[in-house]
Amino acid sequence: MAKFLFTMLPANDLGLPTRLVPIARALADRGHDVAVFNPAPVPAKLIEDAGLKNLPVPLRPMPDSPGDLAQVSLGRGTNVRRPVCR
């Protein structure tokens, strides 16, 4: 059977999880390996109550930022040139 990983932003609301969990549960009921990633408390409870595997946040440090992302997106402070729109 196939493996499925459902991910979402770790927000503490039920908007997306309430739509996603029935689909994930149906796939698991058909024998697929299903995992979900949402460490926020309220969605995590919904996922757990549905009998689905909720993956934890990895215990790895985040990589360093390349600098001021606003400046990078504007093409400043890097050797990246943005196309000129005329």
* 24-44 pLDDT tens trace: 999 999 999 999 999 899 999
Q: Count of H helices and E strands in the chain?
A: 3, 3
Place of tokens 């309220």: 42
* 7-18 pLDDT tens trace: 988 888 899 999
* pLDDT the model gives residue 57: 80
Q: Is 85 part of any domain?
A: no
The closest of 1, 47, 8 to 24, measured between CA atoms, is 47
d(CA 11, CA 30): 28
Q: Is 27 part of any domain?
A: yes
pTM for this predicted structure: 0.65
Total Cβ atoms within 10 A of residue 52 = 18
- 69 vs 80, more confident: 69
* pLDDT the model gives residue 43: 93
Question: How many distinct structural domains can be found in the chain?
Answer: 1
Q: Is 69 part of any domain?
A: no
Domain span at residue 40?
3-57
Q: Is 63 part of any domain?
A: no
